[in-house]
Structure 1
Amino acid sequence: MSKDELYQQLKLQVSALISTEHDMVANMANISALLFEFLPDINWVGFYRSIEDELVLGPFQGKVACIRIPLGKGVCGTAASEGKTQRIADVHQFSGHIACDAASNSEIVIPVYHQEKVIAVLDIDSPINDRFDAEDQRGLESLVNVFEQTLHLEQQAI
């Protein structure tokens, strides 16, 4: 199966899993589990939620993780503060990298938006250098977009 086919299939699965559930944390948990199960060559996947001036660990799959990350620090904090995806081929070359797991060598972090504000980031780590390419970025951003659409439904349900 090609990467494009994999991400199309994952997008359908994410949509089916979360389309009728409006709890953000529950949806983060299922998205993390799905990606951890089906993405090859990753060792951690999960969400950090933006709370005040830092990112706070949310649902994830993998080894124990850093609990709090200041905005603008590390790959996750940079993605949140700049509001754009960070795709890092070698995290050890990233200035200010926060090493929660020394086995991680590459990383991709996608901001999650609600009402034009970054409310979380999806963080995925790999033990393989340069694991994530532009196709991974497009595919993961499309999955995050499906998740963002449920956030609008959550707001309407309140």
Structure 2
Amino acid sequence: MDKIKKKGRYERIYDQLSGLLNATDSAISRMATVAAVLHHKMDGFFWTGFYLLRDGKLIVGPYQGPVACQVLDKDTGVCWTGINEQKTIIVPDVKKFPEHIACDARSRSEIVIPVRDRHGQIIAVLDVDSRHLDQFDETDAAELEKIVNLI
């Protein structure tokens, strides 16, 4: 999908989510809705979900896709890299990422976006995997960052 078309799709998703998420202030409910909408409306999203930061571990939260790893050990994998570096991480080829955690061997590329609370503290990450190499780019990063700010 070209960047203009992709950006337009994200803008429509953002507008839809803005309306849907007003129904509750529950972060878990909002995450569940975000995961479902993104997973079903964006091409190439193979696994779409959240890992919640709890007691120094990342535990699986709301998601769409194949069965997930339940717990991600501290300081390993793409999700922890996003937390430790406090920024969005784009991985064009997960096989080339040191300490990549393969919850599903079909995953080929990944993007992770930190989710922050009202005080700016990271409380979770949005993790999206694709079966395609080089699925994610700066358009995905910018638009997904806007979407997680709705949570």
TM-score range, shorter chain: over 0.9
CA distance in 2, matches of 1:11, 1:116: 21
Distance in 2 (CA, whole Å) between partners of 1:37 and 1:66 is 21
Unaligned runs of 5+ in 2: none
Sequence identity of aligned pairs in percent? 41
> How many residue pairs end up in the alignment?
147
Deviations 1:47-92 (A, max 9, x none): 0000011111000000000011123210011112221111000001
Query: What is the deviation of 1:145?
Result: 1.4
Partner of 1:135: 139
Q: Per-residue displacement from partner, 1:14-69 (whole Å, max 9, x unpaired)?
A: 11111231111111111100001001012100000000111110000000000111
Which of 59, 72, 77 matches 1:74?
77
Q: Among residues 24, 29, 38, which one is paired with 1:21 in the alignment?
A: 24
Equivalents in 2 of 1:139, 1:97: separation in Å?
24
Structure 2 residue 125 is matched with structure 1 residue 118: no
Q: Letter of the aligned partner of 1:6 in structure 2? A: R
Consecutive unaligned residues in structure 1, runs of 5 or more: 148-158
Q: Which runs of 4+ in 1 moved over 4 A?
A: none
CA distance in 2, matches of 1:105, 1:50: 24
